Structure 1
């Protein structure tokens, strides 16, 4: 089948923006996930080495290390798993432009001949900073190579998406002729392997809007997108669309890792508990994705009641409930009048007070029984909220 040319792709994407208000790209690592995001209506697919590492259970940052040849991984992924089964959807090649073993001109021509519709600069130096970035740039592994790759891709009539993190990088990529500028907000938060630290949505929208202003000033036709980071749910993206001039979203873990984690984890748990399976149970409804908004707080309160002695994190409950931790936190506070953390603390302390009254168990054991493995922490929290230490409370009661 003939590969979609650059102008056709641009017309298709701009039409989607005009009709739907935005477009969606998916950065993937397997033919199976590509098949189902295509069925879901994705507008283009990126073949990235990060996606292949993600599928093997590793962090996307593995693509920056010497575990394998990034370009070889992407070429095999694209030609063996994606191009044979995905039709009428552009597939972009995630190119490591600084690979010292390739001639960039010849390699981009090979990408074109292999059937890819475009390229994206990934792994990108835009995500590296500090002294390591300086050292890489000095020895020739540079962002300039990525700019050169975008220029060459234009020559070969390939559609181009440029990952950037600064206004300067955006300007350079626009001058190079990039068709879409994507503000990379960092690795996707959420799930078991997700980034534990990320930008706040507020900081993300300010960063994105500063870069989008540059895009609008230099070329109003350039497509403006963001990549994941803290924006890992439709609710998060609604905030970004409302507060920036963003026209599209590219997700990696959002469409691949997190749904797989959730499905496998929840399905296994469902089979594990088959003897007591109750379709009206809130956690069973969460597995089915049939929770109502009113159920979220009740589900959290019930989970705390049953697991207060264990480590409890709101983001895990949010994952099971298929909503963002931010929304879950806001919903919980609206329904209870206190934050999730405050509710959990008070629940544990009330349990501790009950145990202290019977006088049979040591204060340290009681702390552990209500979820505090660190006795000093337990004492500090007890005194802060109750007004006296556990020992004095026991004597008083």
Structure 2
């Protein structure tokens, strides 16, 4: 009999802080289909994130392509992930600025009843800074995402914050975020990723450092991960760990998309390279 997952906020934090104490990076993995979640868990991922952008990655189109309502998409993917994940906390992305769900506390309750162990502000308005100021002016901006974190914490749920701008890190931690993700833009490379990143390598490191510094000025024990931009492979993370005090990495395209693209293409090409036993000349 497969046991039920049972993760409190405290047990998740204990799990993650133990990694940090042992000098091991915390690894979060986005998974929108069961096979990704299954083998992420087999690889000892620390957190499984169900994010709406997984749908576009799984469909083979760029992550920046919007696919329906983000909350509906996330809730729809959860049963498949829950069915396969046995010993890893599952965190759900929740778009706090969804105008059709203005009472965000009710949505957090829905996530909790369904079985999510935590929530994260995803998608985040900060990914489109050109629109953020206008939304902030009418009370429908980043403050809604701070409220999401407060609602999660009020219910004893683990709360993660995706942070594009370092100045947002401190308010998220003040609201109760247990973990912040310093996002360096869309992950570059692969068949459906951008050719070049939004930031240079040094700018990525500075964003990560600034985000961690701002977050830890409020809570020195808050957990910080890096994500996106040129951070595609374990080799790319070596420079991050050598030059910042980040606690680990959040993997989206770097697990769900790029390795899958490369492995399947290479395997099909290897099958095609074989030759049948035949007397016909090869042309």
TM-score by length of structure 2 reads 0.91
Deviates most, 133-142 or 229-238? 133-142
**Structure 1 residue 275, shift from structure 2 partner:** 2.9
Partner Cα distance (1:26, 1:167) in 2 = 22
CA contact (8 A) 1:29 1:53 kept: no
- How does 1:226-237 map onto structure 2 within 5 Å? 226-237=226-237
- How does 1:1-397 map onto structure 2 within 5 Å? 1-63=4-66, 67-78=67-78, 80-102=79-101, 103-130=103-130, 132-138=131-137, 140-198=139-197, 199-275=199-275
**Other structure's SS at 1:152 match:** helix
Count of residues paired in the alignment:
271
**1:300-326 alpha-carbon deviations (Å, 9 max, x no partner):** xxxxxxxxxxxxxxxxxxxxxxxxxxx
**Structure 1 residue 138, shift from structure 2 partner:** 4.2
**1:190-223 alpha-carbon deviations (Å, 9 max, x no partner):** 2111122212222111111122122232211100
**Other structure's SS at 1:93 match:** strand
**Structure 1 residue 2, shift from structure 2 partner:** 5.0
Q: Which runs of 5+ in 1 are unaligned?
A: 277-397
**Other structure's SS at 2:60 match:** coil
Partner Cα distance (2:5, 2:59) in 1 = 32
CA contact (8 A) 2:31 2:81 kept: no
Partner Cα distance (2:68, 2:216) in 1 = 38
**Other structure's SS at 2:253 match:** coil
Q: Which has the higher helix share?
A: 1
Partner of 1:293: none
Look at both structures and tell me which one has the larger radius of gyration over its CA atoms: 1
The CA RMSD over aligned residues, in Å, is 1.5
**Structure 1 residue 189, shift from structure 2 partner:** 1.1
Q: Which runs of 5+ in 2 are unaligned?
A: 277-283
Partner Cα distance (2:159, 2:57) in 1 = 23
CA contact (8 A) 1:91 1:117 kept: yes
**Structure 1 residue 62, shift from structure 2 partner:** 2.1
Partner Cα distance (1:167, 1:160) in 2 = 18
